[in-house]
Amino acid sequence: MSKEKFFIFTRGRTGSTAIIDELDNHPDIVALQELFISLEKSPELSKAYLEHGKGFYKHISAPYQVLPYGAWSSQYRRFRLPVIGVTYLACNRLISEKGMLSLYLDQSEQRTLLSGQGKRFGFKVLANHFDERPDLAGALKARGYMAIYLERKNTVKLILSGLIARQRGIYNLKNYIASEESYVIDLEDFEKRVIWAKDSVQKEKTWLKEKGFDVHVITYEDFVEDRETFFQGICSMLDIPFMLPPETDYSVMIPDLSKTIANYESLVTKVHEMGISDPL
């Protein structure tokens, strides 16, 4: 396992965005957001692709430091062949999905590590990215990536954060000023998601180990409560000098749940009924 390359495995987009942003503020680290987000889930990329076709990346107002895989691979002709499956015509030859992942990672690493931007290269991977690209875990393992699992101990807040972000249509913003708008939480859906999320954490750690990764765990709560200790741990994992990076401009999107959730009292009752001690 190399300490030069890492990925942060996470379930959510809100708190993890701030962590990645602060890691990228460290002079020895290049940390990027979701390299494997689908083109359809990247509104700016998707709009540019529909308007300009394969040369769309030249028309993006805020160029990505590294183009996400879904956008990058869309520049090449894609086939689905018998037995072989998904195949691309790239570099004047046919390349499998596994080969394309390796080629993409190679180009991304070269662009960042060899450009002198940082000594360590990493990015965020969501659970669904592995589901959508079955060869991704193997490609990361083969290239020596370190697995860092970002856990949010307070599962209730994790789920609420995601549910509110979906209703609001915004997962993260810089310098966000909280609005007075409130949202109704579907309590049955909330309960199912909390139970599923608590069960998924251990399953995901086990899955990573089965894929051959040594799993290093960090928590969102440590990041919020003690940034210095949090970054000391990460710098030690990556074997680089400790430095507390400048704070992110990304904001806490839900400063007060009681004001953001319209049926807050009913939610509190539901949490107690579930026997969960996570503080709201």
Q: What is the pLDDT of residues 203-220, one digit of tens each?
A: 999 999 999 999 999 999
> Among 49, 19, 3, 14, which Cα is nearest to 218's?
19
pLDDT at 253: 72
Average pLDDT over residues 17-42: 88
pLDDT at 196 over 70: yes
For the chain, the structural domain boundaries read 5-39+102-273
Please tell me the distance from the alpha carbon of residue 68 to that of residue 24, in angstroms, as a whole number.
17
pLDDT at 238 over 90: yes
The residues, any chain, with a CB within 8 Å of residue 2's CB and separated by 6 or more, are: 143, 144, 145, 146
pLDDT at 96: 92
pLDDT at 63 over 80: no
Give this prediction's pTM: 0.87
pLDDT at 236: 96
Superfamily classification of domain 5-39+102-273: P-loop containing nucleotide triphosphate hydrolases (3.40.50.300)
For tokens 């592995």, name the residue. 130
Per-residue CA distances from 80 to 3, 85, 180 (Å): 36, 5, 49
Average pLDDT over residues 76-92: 85
pLDDT at 152: 92
pLDDT at 208: 97
pLDDT at 86: 83
- 57: confidence class by pLDDT, cuts 50, 70, 90: low
What average pLDDT is seen over the chain? Answer: 88
Q: How long a stretch of residues is the chain?
A: 280
Per-residue CA distances from 69 to 245, 247, 269 (Å): 28, 28, 43
Please tell me the distance from the alpha carbon of residue 83 to that of residue 80, in angstroms, as a whole number.
9
